[in-house]
Amino acid sequence: MMKKKKLSIAEKEALTGVLFIFPYALGFLIFHALPFILSFVISMTDLRFISKISEVRFIFFDNFLEMFNDPYFWEAFSKSVQYTVIYVPLIMLLSLMLALMVNKKIYAKNAIKTMIFMPYISNIVAIAIVWGLLLDPIEGPINNLLMTLGMTNPPMWLMGAKTALPTVVIIAVWQGMGLQFITYLAALQGVPRELIEASQIDGANRWKSFIHVTLPMISPTTFFLTITSIISSLKNFSVVHALTEGGPGTSTRVLALNIVRETFASYRMGYASAQAIFVFVFILIITVIQWKGQRRFVSY
Amino acid sequence: MTEIRTNTNKWLVKTEKNKKGIVGKLILTAILLIIGILNIYPFLFMLSSSFKPLNQMFEYPIQLIPRTFILQNYKNLFLPEYYFTRWYANTLTMITLTVALKTFIVSMTAYAFARLRFKGRDIIFLVFLAAMMMPPDVTIIPKYVIFKFINITDTMWSLILPSTFDVFFVFMLRQFFITIPMSLSEAAIIDGCSHFKVFYKIILPLTKPAMITMTIFTFVWGWNDYMNPYIFISDTRKQMLTVGIKLFTTSMASDYTTQMAAATLVLIPVLILFLFAQKFFIEGITTSGVKG
């Protein structure tokens, strides 16, 4: 009698569990799992228009072969790599420096934190409008300032073929820094004061105790932030599109923009999917390499 | 005597150190305030320009406090030829629906994973976890195909549904739910309480901070999302604010001050939310890492 009752409670629990996760599981399948699997399938087809989905042919790896011979793809790839190479060190260094400063004894800590964090929660298009104006080559206040300071040929910023990409990256760093900064700040607060004091009693100066105590203590955070910032810089559609739409010319057409262009301007969904898969595999490889390499410099 | 002397010496040294400390603190604060103000300068510029007549906007040196203070730029936004109000309403509706659906579905799922025993639970959870590694951008094209197929492109459901089945917050809420002692719900169950009742009467109230964090982030991400509405919604009248103001700026390229008013109105809700919920925001990030 007792046993039967207990069993029914457990059964009830199991039934409730299944009922509770059912809606989520269904939605997850349709909106996350299925698209992921389909992207591999589509990358091997010549899908163009969804209305002609019945005429789709399997062309297997032809998209990938074409991609490797496509100069536009390689150009976009190189833009993405350039973007990442500037973005990651810059954002890491700046946010660490700011976090180190704010972690000291200062007044108005909360106000300062808020000011540094604010761009992170701001709307990217609103930001693009404001920066577009500030950096206007002829009328913009920044170039006006540079000209009063005696510069005769101030940069074209977002409108120059050579300057557009670095300008986009700097704005992206400014916008994304808040999150990295807060994460670093939290990590720094986890470093025990006694450890730093002990190292200083042992004769280490500030720089030395930073290198030998603080830096190793926050290395898991650095590792985490490096991975996430590489990933986010390789799939940076919104910032770049809102600021330049890939222009001038193709000077800021990074991979994510190229994929969307192939999909909705050239209507080559199969081909665009192949590029998306490439990005995915590329990110995966970088992450795995970092994961393997972490033992060398991350101390837990 | 000597004792007294050394004591006063100590005291002197101490105040000197304090003074040095205060000066250092002041200097560092000043430096950081300057960096902070430079950091938000674009927003100050935006705000002040939105109240200026167009011909004063590019005056140099810049005057952050407008010489002539006008509201016309804001009035322009509500002219019937623009869809600004509509985009605003679309976005608010979309976010309200997302928050409602997501809070309900995600918290229920997390509850099941944290506090109910059933067959296959841990394996299913692992599959969901693995999905956190999937970059959402890779799936844009198949998503578009699926949405066309089930006929939800050009509706806000194409934005609401993918966000509702969020993987990250299932994971985060589960972590919170696990920390609540099991005995608390077991007693209620034995007394004949249903799991649903336990869930919303006992567990939910205890995890308010986590729920608030989820709501805030859902709001901010939804409000600022650019890529999804850009891709899944093509009807201008059904568009969201972010993509909307982008269209709006290209159609009235020279009216910079009106653009600044638009940009200001887009930022205000999130800023207010942020100022009120700053504590949860920053705690939410520091305790969970939050995705970039």
Q: Is the Cβ of B276 closer than 8 Å to some Cβ of chain A?
A: no
pLDDT of residue B12: 57
d(CA A187, CA A184): 5
pLDDT of residue B290: 59
Dihedrals phi, psi of B235, to nearest 5 degrees: -70, 120
> Per the structure block, which two tokens stand in for A135?
């950096």
| Residue of B32, B46, B88, B197 for testing the chain A interface, max A β-carbons within 10 Å | B32
Query: In chain B, what residues touch A242 (CB-CB under 8 Å)?
Result: 226, 246
Residue A1 pLDDT grade (very low, low, confident, very high; cuts 50, 70, 90): very low
Long-range contact set of residues B198-201: C-beta below 8 Å, sequence gap at least 24: B199/B107, B199/B108, B199/B111
Mean pLDDT by runs of 10 across the 292 residues of chain B is 54 63 90 94 93 84 85 89 90 96 94 91 88 78 92 94 91 88 85 86 87 90 94 94 87 80 92 85 70 48
A45: three-class secondary structure by DSSP: strand
Q: Is the Cβ of B192 closer than 8 Å to some Cβ of chain A?
A: no
Dihedrals phi, psi of A58, to nearest 5 degrees: -80, 125
Query: In chain B, what residues touch A27 (CB-CB under 8 Å)?
Result: 105, 161, 164-165
pLDDT of residue A143: 92
* A55 alpha carbon, distance to own chain's centre: 37
Dihedrals phi, psi of B64, to nearest 5 degrees: -70, -30
Question: Could you give the percent of chain A with pLDDT greater than 90?
Answer: 58
Q: How far is B141 from chain A (nearest CA, A)?
A: 7
- Give the residue-averaged pLDDT of A86-112: 94
Cβ contact, residue pair B162, A32, below 8 Å: yes
A58: three-class secondary structure by DSSP: strand
Query: In chain B, what residues touch A224 (CB-CB under 8 Å)?
Result: 289
pLDDT of residue B55: 84
Query: In chain A, what residues touch B198 (CB-CB under 8 Å)?
Result: none
Taking only the tens place, the pLDDT of each residue in B108-156 is: 999 999 999 898 899 999 888 888 777 777 889 999 999 999 999 999 9
Burial of residue B56, with CB atoms counted within 10 A of its CB: 0-12 exposed, 13-18 middle, 19 or more buried: middle
pLDDT of residue A100: 95
pLDDT of residue A194: 86
Reported ipTM: 0.88
Phi-psi category of B226—alpha, beta or left, where left has phi over 0 and alpha has psi -120 to 50? alpha
The pTM is what? 0.89
pLDDT of residue B4: 53
Judged against a pLDDT cut of 70, whether residue A19 lies above it is answered with yes
Q: How far is B1 from chain A (nearest CA, A)?
A: 31
d(CA A126, CA B176): 35
Taking only the tens place, the pLDDT of each residue in B176-212 is: 888 888 888 888 888 888 888 888 888 888 888 888 8
Taking only the tens place, the pLDDT of each residue in A116-150 is: 999 999 999 999 999 998 999 988 889 989 998 98
Cβ contact, residue pair A125, B49, below 8 Å: no
